[in-house]
């Protein structure tokens, strides 16, 4: 595929998907202790599963090291087998290039996938498809049956997306499939937990070692932006970190931060680690936010900015218009911000780039609204499709 592929086009192809006192990261050289293994209360997945399909993501997947290596040979894909806090995972990733001439790479961390609501109940995380919460309030019609065979990941698209990001950034890029989805083993019920953060941290170590990479830049969307913020607290090899629409803070009294949960299954709150992040030499942290975000409210991002400021550091927060129904998907802007950061642009210069991009997005949205209105006028004119007794087409807005 040509490297000039449009990043915006690839974004359109991707599925629409994605806190307590800080604790030290477990030693990377230490073997998992008995305490780590016994800390897990929620039953962990027991067998392999296809986590690119909704049903497999719901059950989770556990594979052995041998099975992980066989998957790499069978699918000609990239996998690393890593262990943290007493549990293992086989993490898939997609490279845009085989060589890393500057010993640096950009890593894209995707948002949450699957369309599940996850809560802790009766000693374990429970996952319920979002369709089951969508009863029609007017007709009281039962919610639609969830499509558990739904494909939520595609290796070919992920590879193309890594290539598109690389072409935009003009640097080798990696799309890291998060644990429990996109063919990585694990269980997405454990997203945003301390275990997901640590297993992702180990996966990046393994990838760096395999390919001779010295420095990483991170860009994440939603839950992937949460991971980017958490990794900023754990790693010393990061240059630019951009978190888009990211839940970087929860209320300190949240149940998901409390010691009522076993340590590996508590949420990791980046806002609790801002004192550490502020001391990272060479790290530049950027947030990209839509103030009308209906999935991750702006306050969950602003709290992180304020906490970082109290620690003596700053993280510019750029406000944009996402353009989707939830005002949530800002990946195009986040990649542009990362491009400016890698190029050494000032905050003001990056703000100008994003402002120009935002103007183009708004112009396209206004044109789409205008086109729909014009089509509706034509349809309602005497002799139009509706007057002739013909059904309105998709552009009529009936749906």
Domains, in order of start, for the chain? 7-345 (3.40.50.1820)
Contacts of 194 (CB under 8 A, 6+ apart): 23, 85, 263, 264, 265, 266, 267, 268
Instruction: Note whether 13 and 110 are within 8 A (CB).
Output: no
Contacts of 183 (CB under 8 A, 6+ apart): 50, 51, 52, 71, 75, 77, 92, 153, 155, 177
Contacts of 387 (CB under 8 A, 6+ apart): 380, 381
Alpha-carbon distance 150 to 45, whole Å?
20
Q: Tell whether the torsion through CA atoms of 226, 56, 146 and 122 is positive or negative.
A: negative
User: 233, 250, 196: which is closest to 315 by C-alpha?
Assistant: 233
- Considering the entire predicted model, what is its pTM? 0.84
Instruction: Note whether 195 and 105 are within 8 A (CB).
Output: no
Q: What is the pLDDT of residue 29?
A: 37
Alpha-carbon distance 375 to 395, whole Å?
7
What phi-psi label fits residue 345: left (phi over 0), alpha (psi between -120 and 50 degrees) or beta? beta
Compute mean pLDDT per 10 residues along the chain, 399 residues long, and list them: 44 36 36 52 85 95 95 84 95 94 96 92 88 80 89 95 96 97 96 97 97 97 98 98 97 91 93 96 96 93 95 94 92 97 97 94 80 80 55 36
- 355-363: long-range pairs with CB below 8 Å, 24+: 357/320, 357/332, 357/333, 358/320, 358/321, 358/333, 361/320, 361/321, 361/323, 362/321
Residue count (the chain): 399
Alpha-carbon distance 2 to 355, whole Å?
28
């Amino acid at each position: 595929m040509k490297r000039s592929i449009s990043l915006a086009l690839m974004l359109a192809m991707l599925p629409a998907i994605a806190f307590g006192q800080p604790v030290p990261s477990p030693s990377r050289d230490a073997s998992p202790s008995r305490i780590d293994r016994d800390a897990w209360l929620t039953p962990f997945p027991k067998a392999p599963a296809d986590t690119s399909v909704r049903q497999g993501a719901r059950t989770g997947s556990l594979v052995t090291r041998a099975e992980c290596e066989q998957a790499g040979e069978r699918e000609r894909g990239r996998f690393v087998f890593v262990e943290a806090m007493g549990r293992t995972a086989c993490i898939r990733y997609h490279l845009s290039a085989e060589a890393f001439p500057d010993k640096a790479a950009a890593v894209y961390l995707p948002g949450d996938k699957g369309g599940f609501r996850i809560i802790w109940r009766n000693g374990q995380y429970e996952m319920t498809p979002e369709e089951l919460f969508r009863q029609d309030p007017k007709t009281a019609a039962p919610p639609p049956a969830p499509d558990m065979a739904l494909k939520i990941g595609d290796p070919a698209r992920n590879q193309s997306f890594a290539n598109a990001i690389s072409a935009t950034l003009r640097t080798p890029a990696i799309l890291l499939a998060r644990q429990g989805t996109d063919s990585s083993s694990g269980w997405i019920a454990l997203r945003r937990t301390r275990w997901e953060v640590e297993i992702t941290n180990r996966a990046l170590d393994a990838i760096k070692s395999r390919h001779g990479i010295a420095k990483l830049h991170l860009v994440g969307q939603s839950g992937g932006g949460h991971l980017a913020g958490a990794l900023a607290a754990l790693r010393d090899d990061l240059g630019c970190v951009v978190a888009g629409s990211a839940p970087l803070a929860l209320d300190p009294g949240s149940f998901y931060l409390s010691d009522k949960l076993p340590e590996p299954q508590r949420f990791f709150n980046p806002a609790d680690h801002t004192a550490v992040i502020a001391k990272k030499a060479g790290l530049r942290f950027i947030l990209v936010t839509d103030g009308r975000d209906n999935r991750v409210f702006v306050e969950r991002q602003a709290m992180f900015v304020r906490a970082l400021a109290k620690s003596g550091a700053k993280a510019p927060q750029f406000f944009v218009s996402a353009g989707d129904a939830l005002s949530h998907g800002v990946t195009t802007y986040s990649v542009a911000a990362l491009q400016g950061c890698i190029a050494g642009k000032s905050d003001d210069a990056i703000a100008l780039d994003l402002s120009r991009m935002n103007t183009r997005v708004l112009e396209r949205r206004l044109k789409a609204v205008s086109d729909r209105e014009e089509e509706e006028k034509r349809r309602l004119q005497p002799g139009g499709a509706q007057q002739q007794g013909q059904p309105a087409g998709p552009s009529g807005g009936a749906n």
